[in-house]
Amino acid sequence: MKVFINKRIPEIGINMLQEAGLQIIFPENENLTYEEWLKYCQHTDVILSIGGDFKYDKLFFETCPNIKAIALYSVGFDHVDIKEANQRHIPIGNTPDVLSRATSDIAFLLMQSVARRASYNFQKVKDGAWDTFEPLHALGQELYGKTLGIFGLGRIGFQMAEKCKKAFEMEIIYHNRHHNEEAERELEATYVSFDELVRNSDVLSVHANFTPEHKDLFNQSVFEKMNPNAIFINTARGGFHQEKDLYNALTEGKIWGAGLDVTNPEPMSADNPLLKLSNVCVLPHIGSATIEARNGMARLAAENIIAFSKGEKMPYCANPEVYSISSL
């Protein structure tokens, strides 16, 4: 069974696949064009997919009819047409849990960086603009006792809420499709409507799975309802927020600051006006960028592929319903 891996992953995953007797194919150049990527995919059985540069849509599946399974090196699977995969009986593996702590750490870091304008002040030091003491220049704000709003209180959102509760004694409110009883019990989190979440959060952090219905959810009308001292954090997907509306909200004082680990498009252009604002911190999608998280992702992706190669169900499957449609 041939496994195409479009970028190098930690050795733990590669070793596991090799020990299982699978043939691994790497591209000569990892910066593939769409056409080059398709050619590799057309001559393989399974894809271990790193990054979201290319979409697994109807055109892809029609162009690569030999693909039998896809193992994503990520939790998110919004770049995969699950309906098309199900129709073709193709299981889609992902890597939940192992990056929850690391990603929540980045959300927590962004919240503090924005609250204290850390990236702006760091840039001043690098630029040689460390001025004399100015009592009123670029002041930050404290987070103690404030209200954290979580949009999408799953594994990552829970970790973020727990950190904020313990570090700053923040009150936790959240909006989900369903109640999170564990969070309500352990963190005294309160379920609220989306409108209440927007209006009552001092920090609003996005952690939901992205779906088409979420596109530009955080837009002008939403930002206008937020607290003018509020901080908007997005470590989920860039598609959640409308970037122009976010910029306007920040420059017009509708909200206080923003921290982003995801943008739309990615990478963000170096001349993006958001990067000129003192109340904004942007990171290059490094939520899972720790040795521990990336090793864990490699292990889970390899486990998914090895299970598939043995005719077993993927242990971490984004579309488990595929197994009720057709057995492997």
Residues classed as catalytic = 237, 266, 285
Q: How far apart are CA 265 and CA 94, in angstroms?
A: 22
Outline where DSSP puts E strands in the chain: 2-5, 23-25, 46-49, 69-72, 92-93, 147-151, 171-175, 190-191, 203-206, 231-234, 257-260, 280-282
Chain centroid to Cα 225, Å, comes to: 25
Torsion-angle region of residue 326: left (phi > 0), alpha (psi -120 to 50) or beta? beta
Helix (H, G, I), strand (E, B) or coil at 44: coil
Give the CA angle between residues 297, 216, 103 to the nearest 5°. 25
SS3 state at 247: helix
What residues have CB less than 8 Å from 185, skipping those under 6 apart? none
In angstroms, rounded to a whole number, what is the distance separating the alpha carbons of residues 141 and 227?
14
CA-CA distances (angstroms) from residue 324 to 69, 233, 314?
16, 38, 13
* φ and ψ of 155, to 5 deg: -65, -50
